[in-house]
Structure 1
């Protein structure tokens, strides 16, 4: 351990097992030797025992928090000791600690500091070596400090690197005396060694304050009782601790961007026992499949054309891909689409979905059937049919007591989806090049764009608004939403501003996901809105009387604009694809929005 690597918070619950400390029956000396000739005996103790002494390779002084272990206690010339966190602990005195050696003789440590806030009894290896003594340690585990993202060999130039060692926070040390303040201070078990030995000989050339670096490397070894794979660790008696540690490790890797996917990439989608592997390289896909077949019993189904109810069509030469739910939607229409004739839009002209009185509701059997219908519509609306999202959302608000008119409207939506079963999502290089804001994007890279809209006070029962957004990657929709705003907006500008908040939240995480997949966005993501007032409000950080009543969270929009995550642009309502997410539209405008959104229309 280095520089006081003893953390009282690192309990046995966190790191199962035991540390190897020097026993109180061992003989040791610092600043003078009384009858001690042999190397210190090593004994196994629990983590928090203050009846044992830790031989610490980084401690500047020998120290103890227990005054009862010291004799000849007197004022100390050292008034405080400091950890690398900048925490200062007061030294109450200095004395001599007496022990009974392995040969039965009494030996002692001189000049031991009494530090009440310390969490362990420490023997300084530095002082032992100054007294021309050899120190050695032996055990099956080595505990080291995780030093964040810095490389290990970069740290050898840093001297006196300490870790958290105090029992309670104390006053930080002066800035000019801070050492390695940016290094992580959490102690973690990261490996094991069979044997470790440290030795020094008193000579004119040896100097404990030397700037020279020494490197030591150990081969991995198997440690008895330790899990050999993640599943064994997670299912064992300390499974929660292992799971938490692995989650923290993956979180730090993602947060610090400490990995790179390299030139060749393959990605995997796993749902229970269905697996989809995709990559720009067909050879890499085959290689991954062969490795899978070596470990698991699985069957290769060839090129994907149907996955989890989704039909997937591709044209490699023309570089496009379509996703639809033809089979599912035709079955849906057969089960629920009772009405005859052709329907061009999800909802009839002028339809208002308002919750009516209970006496106007349909019977119990019809109500249960309506529940099943709305749930089936939602499965399509959230996977491949953003054009049905608004209609489905309206019907979902009246599932408790639907009227005959609303049941008929639900059946109409089912019939509309059945008649347009091959309509779905389409992604292509050509569509992305035509997409707004994609002019300067490097060819072959994925480009993220978004559209946001709101329909102010469109709910007559409570005068709330409906908001919606569409996010697109590769020229086609990847995320969309149509939802009632909980808060009442006092103006159309305020309603659009609140809608921007939700749209930007949906933009931020795909930007990070794309960056992890090697498709980092070149500049802010363009977000299109048909309200110039909302755009001006987002771009102007000055608060004024018209916005003082607004919740603080809505103004997060401004911080994202300032941070360069998004860039707001104005688009005419007639060219706004998110318009179909907030209101009923006539046939011509409805299909125009579908085309603008990048949907596959047959």
Structure 2
């Protein structure tokens, strides 16, 4: 806590103003509000976990109530309707809140109930983005990037409007929450935020053209089994600018994708085996986090998740405890995959490249293969109208 410039008392330089309540615009306001709200939740019997500090759970006998907090937006759900209503009543007494009823729209994400589960999309967000960029009348395309093509850092002329470029790319990043198939394309254009070329902006417009033709797509979440599995992939030395590998993974709970990522590694891998092995390590860490989160939510899962990889050498390395000449330089923390396999907390299995779901997160694909992986990631249309709002 620090006194604002110009208000420091020379006789008491260490003192600060005492606020009766937190105000918007102050740097301390978000922290003060979060402490105020979480303290009150603890009095209602809620606990939170280190896996996600914004997620709170209250257990009422055999029932649970789950509360998710994002600044001052709240989602409440659970298995006991009476307990949920009691929490809402308690929050209403303590804070000035507005109950909006069933969940339809949250932070730009549209939620629609279906007969089998939930449908999540960002149709309205895409429409607003296309209007903002004047791409609402553009011609749609089949894929968000050219197949098996990478962007070069010095490719043609410099783009003259860096503010526009950064604004669009940042907006596209938020779309990866419900559109995992554009994660790799967005990951590519994000690498040129400091020095954009015309070719880079052309790639951005291709993503927008793809969204123009698929704005009503979203992820369908269905009821089903609770087995945890993941697909891990790496495009070894795929970046022509620095020869670093791109890692991609997608984790499934049953048939529903719950976590995905497309990210370039910070170091250069000496072989495809090393690149794939590092990808296994990244995915294993994500699976550990998901397991902790599900345990906190009292969701029963299979004791050992299955991790699929399309590189036999990397799979062998996860089973073999012997240090080889070509792998002795790999950091010790990466080898915790081997420990999980040895203790039967993780099973690593081979999957063919054709059935590697994470392939779409590491490289641009041809249109037929791209559409196949879209289906694998449960990306399709809802059978109902999407309920949204502003």
TM-score w.r.t. structure 1 length?
0.52
**Aligned pair partner of 1:502 in 266, 282, 286:** 282
Q: CA deviation at 1:601?
A: 4.2
Distance 2:254 2:131 in 1: 33
| Residue 205 (structure 2) pairs with residue 411 (structure 1) | yes
Distance 1:449 1:545 in 2: 31
> Which 4+ runs in 1 deviate beyond 4 A?
249-252
Q: CA deviation at 1:323?
A: 0.9
Secondary structure class of the residue paired with 2:259: strand
Change (3 A) 1:462 1:297: closer
Q: CA deviation at 1:250?
A: 7.6
Change (3 A) 1:511 1:584: same
**Aligned pair partner of 2:138 in 340, 344, 352:** 340
1:519-538 to 2 correspondence within 5 Å? 519-538=299-318
Q: CA deviation at 1:525?
A: 0.9
| Residue 170 (structure 2) pairs with residue 375 (structure 1) | yes
| Residue 360 (structure 2) pairs with residue 580 (structure 1) | yes
- Residues 191-221 of structure 1: CA deviation (Å, up to 9, x unaligned): xxxxxxxxxxxxxxxxxxxxxxxxxxxxxxx
Map of 1:289 onto structure 2: 88
Distance 1:554 1:560 in 2: 11
**Aligned pair partner of 1:320 in 104, 117, 121:** 117
Map of 2:265 onto structure 1: 485
Q: Work out whether residues 138 and 212 of structure 2, in 8 Å CA contact, stay in contact via their aligned partners in 1.
A: no
Map of 1:156 onto structure 2: none
Unaligned runs of 5+ in 1: 1-233, 243-248, 434-445
1:221-232 to 2 correspondence within 5 Å? none
Q: Work out whether residues 309 and 315 of structure 2, in 8 Å CA contact, stay in contact via their aligned partners in 1.
A: yes
Q: CA deviation at 1:374?
A: 0.8
Q: CA deviation at 1:260?
A: 6.3
Distance 2:324 2:304 in 1: 27
Q: CA deviation at 1:406?
A: 1.4
Q: CA deviation at 1:272?
A: 2.4
| Residue 364 (structure 2) pairs with residue 570 (structure 1) | no
Q: Work out whether residues 458 and 465 of structure 1, in 8 Å CA contact, stay in contact via their aligned partners in 2.
A: yes
Map of 2:149 onto structure 1: 351
- Residues 347-387 of structure 1: CA deviation (Å, up to 9, x unaligned): 13453211007x82122xx2211111111111112x11111
Map of 2:221 onto structure 1: 427
Distance 1:588 1:333 in 2: 26
Q: Work out whether residues 49 and 296 of structure 2, in 8 Å CA contact, stay in contact via their aligned partners in 1.
A: no
Q: CA deviation at 1:251?
A: 7.7
1:33-72 to 2 correspondence within 5 Å? none
Q: CA deviation at 1:586?
A: 0.8
- Residues 211-244 of structure 1: CA deviation (Å, up to 9, x unaligned): xxxxxxxxxxxxxxxxxxxxxxx98xxx9xx9xx
Secondary structure class of the residue paired with 1:323: strand
More helix by share: 2
Map of 1:25 onto structure 2: none
Unaligned runs of 5+ in 2: 1-30, 40-46, 53-57, 383-390
Greater Cα radius of gyration, structure 1 or 2 = 1
**Aligned pair partner of 1:399 in 193, 203, 219:** 193
Change (3 A) 1:251 1:472: closer
Secondary structure class of the residue paired with 2:63: coil
Change (3 A) 1:287 1:311: same
Distance 2:83 2:60 in 1: 13
Distance 1:335 1:350 in 2: 30
Q: Work out whether residues 140 and 211 of structure 2, in 8 Å CA contact, stay in contact via their aligned partners in 1.
A: no
Map of 2:6 onto structure 1: none
Secondary structure class of the residue paired with 1:266: strand
1:116-155 to 2 correspondence within 5 Å? none
Q: Work out whether residues 304 and 347 of structure 2, in 8 Å CA contact, stay in contact via their aligned partners in 1.
A: yes
Distance 2:116 2:181 in 1: 24
Q: Work out whether residues 148 and 365 of structure 2, in 8 Å CA contact, stay in contact via their aligned partners in 1.
A: no
Secondary structure class of the residue paired with 2:262: strand
Change (3 A) 1:561 1:261: farther
Distance 1:577 1:303 in 2: 33
TM-score w.r.t. structure 2 length?
0.79
Q: Work out whether residues 477 and 599 of structure 1, in 8 Å CA contact, stay in contact via their aligned partners in 2.
A: no
Q: Work out whether residues 332 and 418 of structure 1, in 8 Å CA contact, stay in contact via their aligned partners in 2.
A: no
Secondary structure class of the residue paired with 2:120: strand
**Aligned pair partner of 1:471 in 230, 240, 251:** 251
1:168-187 to 2 correspondence within 5 Å? none
